[in-house]
Amino acid sequence: MPEAASPAWAALDAIQEVTLARHVRILRARIVQAGGALSFAEFMEGALYDTEIGYYSHETVFGATGDFITAPALSALFGQCLARQCAQILQRAPGQIIEVGAGNGRLAVDILQTLEALETLPTQYVLVERSARRREEAQALITREIPQQADRIVITDTWPDTSASVILANELLDALPADRFCIHQGRVHPLLVCVEGDAFGWREGAVDVRLTETLGTSGWPEGYASEISSRGGHWIGEAAAHLGTGGLLLVIDYGFPAHEFYHPQRHSGTLMCHFRHHVHSDPLVLPGLQDITVHVDFTAIAEAGHAAGLMLAGYTSQAAFLLSLGLAPRAHAEVRAHMEEVNAIKRLTLPHEMGELFKVIAFTRGHAPPLAGFHLLDRSQALTRR
């Protein structure tokens, strides 16, 4: 077993050791086949999404027994707030909701339960999810918790051939394969993944003209390394093509505007890996067994929305968005349940938890009312390139 592919802190069981060895074998063969190196996006694609060996094809990913927790897994309060934002749009523009990267369906169920209570159900709710395992989990959750809504729900792995009133994505963009680069003598070089002895290592590629044009050459400290995700902008273009008139595109994820994303002090980029709630920054270990993510450059996302003909309708922190939409503990008879809700609210909103790092960006097509979720705070001005 390549030592660097299995760090001591991971303490793998026998099955995981065998699985990891297989992942490493397959990825090494791909690197050799590609002539000695893969772009980081290609490596991330294989490690996360290969239908056989990819991380997202595994059984447990989200939640306390998995590797990381997302807001829908934390509390139904998150979905209830999002549902209130959806309702504002659906009341004026009744139609479909499309949720992309829907995971195990938890958010869809929470949103639909709330919209049912508000009597503002969408004509259809489409869950688009790449992982077959997650689609199965979503189907089981829907059958168990909202069987009465099954007729209006579609679970698929690709965009439907329709246009929607609302398109949602929670923690999708951070999971899209991204490229890495480094600055060497004022030029932008891609960072490629190669085989290094028994392990994987980094190799600096030849100067990349496209990356150099996009990122510019001035002001970068020597040795600076970071990431760039062209797939995020591409995804916004796809979403725009599926958004109907008066519709809302809502994206929630962790990240910053460009001037913070590429801040000189953030000199090693934003890569984050999750393995059993252990967070670290080495994506070359535990391929296929750990999650790999990259923060979102929200300025690039705003520019992609603009290029796709959408109007920026708001940009704010997750905390301000949820509080604008009435996030508050319900009055519970049971004190314990009440305390759990209060704890979830703290994790969703406190600055050192998910409240500040996670942002919400919204686009509309054509005329739409001021969105309820940006009532307390709208930081759209922060997205301007400086």
Ligand X SMILES: C[S@@+](CC[C@H](N)C(=O)[O-])C[C@H]1O[C@@H](n2cnc3c(N)ncnc32)[C@H](O)[C@@H]1O
For ligand X, the binding residues (CB under 6 A) are 56, 62, 70, 72-73, 100-103, 107, 128-131, 134, 170-172, 175-176
Q: Report the nearest approach of ligand X to the CB of residue 363 (Å).
A: 18
- For tokens 């939409």, the residue is 325
How many Å apart are CA 383 and CA 385, to the nearest integer? 6
How many Å apart are CA 313 and CA 310, to the nearest integer? 9
Which residue number, 129 or 227, has a Cβ lying nearer to ligand X? 129
How many Å apart are CA 295 and CA 282, to the nearest integer? 15
Q: What are phi and psi of 62, to 5 degrees?
A: -90, 160
Q: Report the nearest approach of ligand X to the CB of residue 106 (Å).
A: 6
Which residue number, 109 or 258, has a Cβ lying nearer to ligand X? 109
Measured CA distances, 357 to 12, 73, 131, 132, 253 (Å): 31, 18, 26, 30, 8
Q: Report the nearest approach of ligand X to the CB of residue 185 (Å).
A: 35
Which residue number, 159 or 202, has a Cβ lying nearer to ligand X? 159
- 180 and 200 Cβ atoms separated by less than 8 Å: no
Q: Report the nearest approach of ligand X to the CB of residue 123 (Å).
A: 21
What sign for the dihedral angle of Cα 48, 52, 56, 59? negative
Which residue number, 68 or 261, has a Cβ lying nearer to ligand X? 68
Measured CA distances, 58 to 133, 284, 371 (Å): 7, 18, 37
- Left (φ > 0), alpha (ψ -120 to 50) or beta: where does 12 sit? beta
Which residue number, 101 or 283, has a Cβ lying nearer to ligand X? 101
Q: Report the nearest approach of ligand X to the CB of residue 107 (Å).
A: 6
DSSP string for 190-204: EEEEEEETTEEEEEE
- 227 pairs with which residues across the strands? 180
Q: Report the nearest approach of ligand X to the CB of residue 386 (Å).
A: 30
List all residues 6 or more positions away from 1 whose beta carbon is below 8 Å from its beta carbon: 17, 20, 21, 24, 198
Q: Report the nearest approach of ligand X to the CB of residue 372 (Å).
A: 21
Which residue number, 131 or 290, has a Cβ lying nearer to ligand X? 131
Structure tokens at 233: 């902008």
Which residue number, 76 or 382, has a Cβ lying nearer to ligand X? 76
Which residue number, 69 or 199, has a Cβ lying nearer to ligand X? 69
- 191 and 211 Cβ atoms separated by less than 8 Å: no
Q: Report the nearest approach of ligand X to the CB of residue 69 (Å).
A: 9
- For tokens 């919209």, the residue is 115
Which residue number, 344 or 382, has a Cβ lying nearer to ligand X? 344
User: In angstroms, how far is CA 126 from the centroid of its own chain?
Assistant: 18
User: In angstroms, how far is CA 219 from the centroid of its own chain?
Assistant: 29
Q: Report the nearest approach of ligand X to the CB of residue 273 (Å).
A: 13
What sign for the dihedral angle of Cα 140, 142, 148, 154? negative
